[in-house]
């Protein structure tokens, strides 16, 4: 991430010692600053994937823990009075297989893309292919921005009402 393009950047303390710190920082920032765009990046599933392996009980336990943090972040947005105008995206930068990633199997290349909120169709599912850089195009579309000529991403227009 290019931190020069951000107006705020913060790193949570060691996850293993303070597992709730990042979520707490996000909740506080949302309630105090009402951000226009916020990314909360949990990197711990990557570590569990390398240590215990992907597709293991430990990995799914970590995802369940993260699911709780997503719930808390949605609650913080609600308490900030921003729920009706907010769009949530949950995604990842890679999948994994056994204790690694970076190869060309679908388990390593496929990631979730979940989008929900203002003007997003409910309960839908699309089957078109999507690439990582399409996430940025979709976000640019949400903000009504014309994407730079050099971008090759496509906004996922089918998710909108
Ligand atoms: Zn990794």
Q: What does the pLDDT look like over 67-77, one tens digit per residue?
A: 999 999 999 99
Around ion ligand 1, residues with a beta carbon closer than 5 Å are 46
Q: How far is the CA of 74 from the centre of ligand 1 (A)?
A: 27
pTM: 0.94
Render pLDDT for 121-143 as a digit per residue (tens, 0 to 9).
999 999 999 999 999 999 999 99
CB atoms within 10 A of CB 5: 7
Mean pLDDT to the nearest integer, 73-87: 98
Q: In this predicted structure, what is the pLDDT of residue 5?
A: 80
Give distance in angstroms: CA of 59 to centre of ligand 1: 13
Q: What is the pLDDT of residue 6?
A: 87
Question: How many Å lie between the centroid of ligand 1 and the Cα of residue 47?
Answer: 7
Distance 50 CA to ligand 1 centre (A): 6
What pLDDT is attached to residue 19? Answer: 93
């Amino acid at each position: 991430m290019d931190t020069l393009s951000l107006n705020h950047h913060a790193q949570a303390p060691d996850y293993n010692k303070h597992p709730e710190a990042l979520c707490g920082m996000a909740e506080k920032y949302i309630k105090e600053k009402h951000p226009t765009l916020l990314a909360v990046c949990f990197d711990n599933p990557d570590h569990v994937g390398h240590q215990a392996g992907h597709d293991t009980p430990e990995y799914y336990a970590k995802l369940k823990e993260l699911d709780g943090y997503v719930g808390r972040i949605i609650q913080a947005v609600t308490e900030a009075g921003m729920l009706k105008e907010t769009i949530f995206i949950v995604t990842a930068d890679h999948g994994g297989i056994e204790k690694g990633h970076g190869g060309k199997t679908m388990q390593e290349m496929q990631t979730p893309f979940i989008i929900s909120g203002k003007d997003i169709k409910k309960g839908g599912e699309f089957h078109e292919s999507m690439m990582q850089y399409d996430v940025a195009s979709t976000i640019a579309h949400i903000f009504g921005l014309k994407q730079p000529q050099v971008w090759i991403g496509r906004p996922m227009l089918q998710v909108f009402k």
